[in-house]
Amino acid sequence: MKYRVVRHRKETIIAGEKVHYVGGNLARAWREAFSACGLEERPWQNVLLIGMGASLIQILSEGKISPPRMTVLEIDPEMVRLQEIYFHLPQTYELRMGDAAQTIHTLTEIYDGLFVDAFVEEEVPEVLIRKDFVEALHSRLAPEGLLMWNVLRRSQSDRIYGLLAQTFPIVRCWRYAPHTFWISASSVRAFPSPF
């Protein structure tokens, strides 16, 4: 995969051919999703990121007395290298290199936040759009935890919704074009009111 590091209006962005992988439009989409869902002040304790994202790490670390413990699953060492060079990562994190479709099955911890932000250009890798992967996410999520999954392609979004709806009792959607954020939980208490 080829990445470009660009500066735009004093902002650093890691870009591909069609998408922003870190910063830029992707960072704005995550910020808007957190704001719209009322998650800005949620006290995350232990989170899992599928796909390393400095923007998401920064958002999750803001305004907390104690930032959450973070585990990151990332397949691409170049993405890790670029983010560690060009972005301020406000806290330490545990990095596990490898394909998340396989690595997720090696985890034993429970997380109150799961964030799936893995894609190659506009596509979620097909190995993640599988029932066994979604079930593994469900098994790692705390009873009152939240899963947020960022999807760009409409055809993939519909498939991911179908898998989430089969596995989680509660699935909600929020859009920030072209992003669709699927938010899933096992308990309505996981959602801030009125979302």
HEC-encoded secondary structure of 130-175: CHHHHHHHHHHEEEEEEEEEEECCHHHHHHHHHHHHHHCCEEEEEE
- The answer on pLDDT for 52 being more than 90 is yes
Residue 86 lies in a domain: yes
Q: What are phi and psi of 51, to 5 degrees?
A: 100, 120
Q: What are phi and psi of 94, to 5 degrees?
A: -90, 125
pLDDT, residue 62, reads 84
Q: What is the pTM of this model?
A: 0.93
Mean pLDDT of 130-136: 98
Measure the CA dihedral 191/110/99/162, to 10°: -40
Residue 13 lies in a domain: no
Residue 11 lies in a domain: no
Domain span holding position 26: 22-190
Residue 195 lies in a domain: no
Mean pLDDT of 94-115: 97
Residue 78 lies in a domain: yes
First-to-final CA distance of the chain: 37
Mean pLDDT of 131-158: 97
pLDDT, residue 192, reads 81
Residue 43 lies in a domain: yes
> Residue 9 — pLDDT band, cuts 50, 70, 90?
confident
- What is the average pLDDT value for the chain, to the nearest integer? 92
Residue 4 lies in a domain: no
Q: Whole-angstrom Cα distance, residue 37 to residue 181?
A: 10
Q: Whole-angstrom Cα distance, residue 73 to residue 153?
A: 22
Number of domains in the chain: 1
Phi-psi region at 107: left, alpha or beta (left = phi > 0; alpha = psi -120 to 50): beta
Mean pLDDT of 115-142: 96
- The answer on pLDDT for 131 being more than 80 is yes
CATH classification of the domain holding 179: 3.40.50.150
Q: What is the pLDDT of residues 163-180, one digit of tens each?
A: 999 999 999 999 999 999
Q: Whole-angstrom Cα distance, residue 137 to residue 39?
A: 20
Q: How far is CA 31 from CA 23, 36, 87, in A?
A: 11, 9, 17
pLDDT, residue 14, reads 87
Residue 48 lies in a domain: yes
Helices (H), 18-106: 24-36, 54-61, 77-86, 100-103
